[in-house]
Chains A and B, each alone.
Chain A
Amino acid sequence: MARLVSLWRNLAHRNRVDRELDEELREAFELLVEEKLRSGLAPDAARRAARLELGSVESLKGQVQEARAGAGVDAVLQDVRYALRSLVRAPGFTAVVVVTLALGIGVNTAIFSILNAVLLRPLPFPEPDRIVRLFHVPPQATFPGMARFSLSPANFFDWQRDARSFEGMALYRGRSFTLVGQEEPRAILAAAVGAGFFEILHARPELGRVFRADEDTPAARVVVVSHGFWKTRLGGAPDVLARSLKLNGEPYAIVGVMPQTFSLGSWFAASREIWVPLALSDAERAVRENHNEQAIARLAPGATLAQGLSELEVISKRLEQEHPQENAGWGATLAPLRDVIVGDVRPTLVLLLAAVGLVLLVACANVGNLLFTRALGRRKELATRAALGAGRVRVFQQLLIEALVLACAGGAAGVLLAYASLRAFAAMLADQVPRADEIRMDLRVLAFALAASILTGLLAGALPAFRAGRAELTDALKEGGRGDSALGIRTRRLLVVCEVALSVVLLMGAAVMLRSLVALRTVDAGFDSQGVLTMRVSLPDTRYPKPAQRTAFFDTALERLRALPGVTAAGAIDDLPLMGGSVQPIVVEGRPELLPRDQPTVQVRALTPGYLRAMSIPVVRGRDVEPGDVEVLLVSRGAATLLWGDGDPIGQRVTLPLVSRTLARQVVGIVADVKQDGVTERPQPTVYSYTRERSSARLTLVARTSLPPGSLAPVAVGVIRALDPEQPVQEVRTMVEVRDALLSSQRLSALLLGLFAALALALATVGIYSVLSYIVRGRSREIGIRSALGAQSRDVVRMVVREGMTPALVGIAAGTLAALLASLSLERLVFGVSASDPLTLTAVGSLLAIVALLASLVPAYRAARVAPSTALRD
């Protein structure tokens, strides 16, 4: 308690306390003088003796101050003030350091903001950790490597009935409607949700209500709209609950409006404009062998993820026995909703954070070097302070505090920089990263920036402060202004080695990502994406209820497309290559039927004549489908091998049991393999069906043109409009755009890594340059003597360049080793190139060697121009 009072007094009334101390010590001196006088000394001798016994009043004061309560706090405040003053006096130095640190801390803060929004922040629903997605685990023989699969309705309803660890379960799926209103017809994205969907999320409507359980029936015509839809499409009408929407030609009563906070951009079920009941018919609810449904659930209070999982596993084991025909080999699993949403980007974000961490380290090395130079330049000042009673610890503390003040200034500037660039980052990431719409700065981001600043200050400041504090202070005083010649050269070399090594690692990462991107763009996916325009048309069943109407629509549309100038071929398919699609078991006629678990599966696509030509997918044997065909199949080369080995598939008949157990169709041709599930996947065995009279309602039209495909878009859309003015056309894109869109996240990480690597390289270049400049300046006397003794300027250049290149080469070697280690974690993220590719390593190493050489040449030539007389005179 007494100490607390003293602490308060010392800090709050420092001046008075200091004055009193001063007075006390002066009085002690006077008393001592009198004592000496009394013992018979002459006045002069008495004062001298007293001074000798008491020591300097100033240093005595320092000793008392250090013993006092709050001495630490006091000294820190004093040092902060001192640091601010001396930094203001060196504006150039301060600016360089603050800008360097602002860049380093800024990129770290920006990337952390993204990581925070995407990976750390909870989903905007109450108790979000209890919300899970439910999946089937498919039989591994037919779906090798696939861990999660959609659900079959009948199995889901069995889980829902029997599982006890869950508060609720609900199905949902995406759906699209044609909305006809005052504007032109528009395809509107909806989520069809089963009973209990909103309750599971604990989400309440802003207006009205969500669906009642008895509305989950095919007859119900009710809709819940999003806040955004209400505000923009309905003009925020207050009587919204009395209105209805005309979807696919039928009126749906609006029963509720979901609040803005419900909208979770990265999860379609929560981000769509409207919601309708899923409304499965009794027949649909009984389907067990077809797996197309998505499901969420909420764990019951007190139930753990593991309990939920083991309960589902027990139930699906039982279902396997009860329904072996459909369920053999189909297990169950679950995962937190958040993990499902953000699962894929975690490695990329962690990689980017590691990259900016390295950038910050390079910045630290640069700043460390600058601080070191400054500390050595101030040795006289520091020595004077030491002589006046500042202990070595105090000098160390003061230098460290100066570094921390700089780091905090840099951090503050960095936060501003990150704040300014965050919008651009978020826009860039919008399509590639889930939850990008939620990126913003919050307290956690600011805490991160503060921690990064402090760490940076300690890291950059500790070594210079330690080395300068250790330098013999008396030497500094004795030497006078001259001769900071060789001090700390080793420390500086070490900094250069570190900077170069870190840059090698970053450049290596960026180069590998870039090469991977090039490989992904140029990889042969089995078709020619140049010169192709695509667009999607979904015909609503309300307006095209009969298959024949749909067939007629698409036939006419394709005919008119082919008639357009420049169009050389046109056709349609249900799912474009690389985009994934239906996977089904297949049965060859005449062979014994296997259990579903043992049946081979193939990708199944529906196409029209002209599609293969439009995509330049060659027919290897047999023929393409023709307008005269009724029910025929094409198989890919891979499917032919899978099903018939060396045998001839042409003329064979197969059934797709999920489509129809009784319909056997004849194979008329073999086509080349195409990658169906993505550029990085192998081509999967594929079966293409053509059914003249049963055209799908949803097809993507593709047209090959000799003109730039983008320029064809308006006329192509015009063709559909002319056929049916109420029919929306979606996703009008060139095939190159389709392909590139799939690579956007790779492109982004390559771009960002490249940016960060360039930043690191620039910092390292500046670092090498400034270290060498310093060394040259320090050794100008030596260089002058050498020149005077007859050294050629060539020799001087060589000497200085060697001085710069040695640590750079050591750094390149160390960085290459580190890059090889780091490549182990990169291997999963790259395609078509090894993360430890020797060519890339060599290129990166050479680049850095060249940059180091250039950074050394300027100081070297400057050194060579030093006139011996100037150097010697200085």
Chain B
Amino acid sequence: MTGRRAALLQGTLDLLILKALAAGELHGLGVSRRIEQITGGTFVVQPGSLFPALHRLEEAGWLAADWQPSENNRRAKYYTLTKAGRRQLGEEKAVWNQIALAIARALEA
């Protein structure tokens, strides 16, 4: 895998995680399921990519985490979008739209 492609995928993953959490707090597995759901099953995020990304985004200050009772009444780590995260989501969305538009135009040309 070349560095550039990895970077692109990573950027996409970050965007998807931020978007998945925009609707409300979720635990790690929930994020994965939510992404699967909103992309209509196109993206299935592997745990090997998901958890490192969650921790990275948390450390960047875009996600906050706290421990709450889960559906089965045990403790789970729930992630929420911070203010900075919401701003970041807006920026990444804009960038993504630009790219998508540009690529669509390029393909139609």
Contact = CB atoms under 8 A, between A and B. Distances in A.
Nearest to B54: A64
Given A63-B51, A67-B52, A28 B72 contact: no
B51 A31 contact: no
Interface string B54-65: 011011110000
A64 B29 contact: no
A832 interface: no
Interface string B18-56: 000000000111000000000000000011100111011
B97 interface: no
A27 B76 contact: yes
B105 to A, nearest CB: 35
A28 B59 contact: no
Which 8 residue pairs across A and B have the least CB separation, nearest first?
A2-B61, A67-B52, A6-B59, A24-B77, A27-B76, A31-B29, A54-B47, A64-B52
Interface of B: 27-29, 46-48, 51-53, 55-56, 58-61, 70-72, 74-77, 84
Given A28-B47, A34-B72, 8 more contacts: A2-B61, A24-B76, A27-B74, A60-B47, A60-B48, A63-B48, A66-B52, A68-B56
Contacts of B61: 1-3
B21 to A, nearest CB: 16
Contacts, number: 67
A67 B48 contact: no
Contact of B55 (A31, A54, A67): A67
A64 B51 contact: yes
Contacts of B58: 6
B47 A2 contact: no
A559 interface: no
Given A67-B53, A69-B59, A55 B75 contact: no
27 contacts: A2-B59, A2-B61, A2-B84, A3-B61, A6-B59, A20-B77, A24-B28, A24-B76, A25-B51, A27-B74, A27-B75, A28-B29, A30-B72, A31-B29, A31-B76, A32-B29, A34-B71, A54-B47, A55-B48, A60-B47, A60-B51, A63-B51, A64-B51, A64-B52, A64-B55, A67-B53, A67-B55
Q: Chain A contact residues: over half helix, strand or loop, or mixed?
A: helix
Interface in A20-52: 20-21, 23-25, 27-28, 30-32, 34-35
Contacts of A59: 48
Nearest to A25: B51
Contacts of B27: 27-28, 31
A53 interface: yes
A25 B48 CA distance: 11
Contacts of A21: 55
Given A20-B77, A28-B27, A55 B47 contact: yes
Interface of A: 1-3, 6, 20-21, 23-25, 27-28, 30-32, 34-35, 53-55, 59-60, 63-64, 66-69
A63 B47 CA distance: 10
B56 to A, nearest CB: 5
A637 B28 CA distance: 103
B24 to A, nearest CB: 17
Contacts of A31: 27, 29, 70-72, 76
Contacts of B51: 24-25, 28, 60, 63-64
Contacts of B52: 63-64, 66-67
A24 B58 CA distance: 14
Contacts of A23: 75, 77
A20 B51 CA distance: 13
Contacts of B76: 24, 27-28, 31
A2 B72 CA distance: 32
Contacts of B84: 2
Max chain B CB contacts within 10 Å: which of A59, A60, A64? A64
B101 to A, nearest CB: 31
Contacts of A25: 51
Nearest to A7: B59
B60 A3 contact: yes
Contact of B77 (A1, A2, A27, A69): A27
Max chain B CB contacts within 10 Å: which of A1, A28, A55, A69? A28
Contacts of B55: 21, 64, 67-68
A54 B60 CA distance: 25
Contacts of A63: 48, 51-52
Max chain B CB contacts within 10 Å: which of A2, A59, A66? A2
A67 B55 CA distance: 7
Nearest to B28: A28
B79 to A, nearest CB: 10
Contacts of A20: 77
